[in-house]
Amino acid sequence: MKTTNTPLSQQRNFLVKSLMAFPFLLLFVLSAKADDKDKEKVKPEIKSKSPLYVIAGKTTQVTFYGDRLTTGELKSNNAKVKAKLLSLKETEGEDKKKGSHLFVAEISAGETAPIENVELTLQSKDIKAATQFSVVDATVSEATEKKPPHTFAQAMPIILTPETPSLAISGTVDDDKPSTFSFTTKPGEKWLFRVFAGRGGSPLDAVVRLRDAKHHSLMLAAGASVKDRVLTFAPSLPGTYYVEIMDEASKGGGNFTYRLTSRLVKPTQK
């Protein structure tokens, strides 16, 4: 078998050419990565919204803020929640801190819409921006937290009757002070409490505690911040009870929002 040895000069030339080509190859790779990063930078993004939710069975106008948004079709991934884009424009003044663009949408949730988050997508050609949006349960009455409800003596009363069996209270948690509510009940009644906060984007990591008339803790709801807190209570003794809402890390402020729903569930006579 005949072997051929490559002349040393040819090997040297090949090595020189390879070394000369290396910077161009490296530049090509770096440019490709830079292009990928640029593409990521120009992706549209929805950053915030107000209000944070739509009530089941209702229609609400919501303002969304974000960057690099363009007019397109707004879609929901749940057939029981409809979304319609009304307008889109560049932000002005203080709104610029929230993003380069804002759009207003009409969100409609059916009466049987699930009490969970749905995904909304604003799509224009092959570019889209997605965000989570919350559906909350409907109640007969709505109210705003009366400040300051920080002590048992200051607790805001929750009054439910067979004619008004549900109430929603919207409020904020102030620093390390709880939002406290009182209610009077008796054996044969069943109460359902739900606190909506982190699921809608509130920084509040809610801890919900139920206490008796002597302020002893009876029940507690906590856990993953993106989940609603739910307590079901059927008293064995008549009297006044309390519901407390706090942040897990004892934080608070104007953006630590929550929505407390209280509901009488199938009350029975004894």
- Tokens 């390390």 belong to which residue? 176
Choosing among 2.60.120.380, 3.30.470.20, 1.10.357.10, 1.10.3720.10, the CATH entry for 141-264 is 2.60.120.380
- Boundaries of every domain in the chain: 45-136, 141-264
pLDDT at 28: 55
CB 82 within 8 A of CB 38: no
Structure confidence at residue 42 as a pLDDT band (50, 70, 90): confident
Classify residue 57 as left (phi > 0), alpha (psi -120 to 50) or beta: left
Choosing among 2.60.40.10, 3.30.450.20, 2.130.10.10, 3.50.50.60, the CATH entry for 45-136 is 2.60.40.10
pLDDT at 175: 84
Q: Do domains 45-136 and 141-264 have the same CATH topology?
A: no
Question: What distance in Å separates the CA atoms of residue 134 and residue 196, rounded to the nearest whole number?
Answer: 9
**Strand 59-67, strand 45-50: pairing:** antiparallel
The residue that leads in pLDDT, 195 or 26, is: 195
Q: What is the pLDDT of residues 66-105, one digit of tens each?
A: 999 999 999 999 999 999 999 999 999 999 999 999 999 9
Question: What distance in Å separates the CA atoms of residue 7 and residue 166, rounded to the nearest whole number?
Answer: 93
Q: Which residues of 191-230 are buried (b: 16+ CB within 10 A; e: fewer)?
A: bbbbbbbbbbbbbbbbbbbbbeeeeeeeeebeeebeebbe
- CA–chain centroid gap for 112, Å, is 20
Is the confidence at residue 211, as pLDDT, over 90? yes
Q: Read off the DSSP letter of residue 116.
A: S
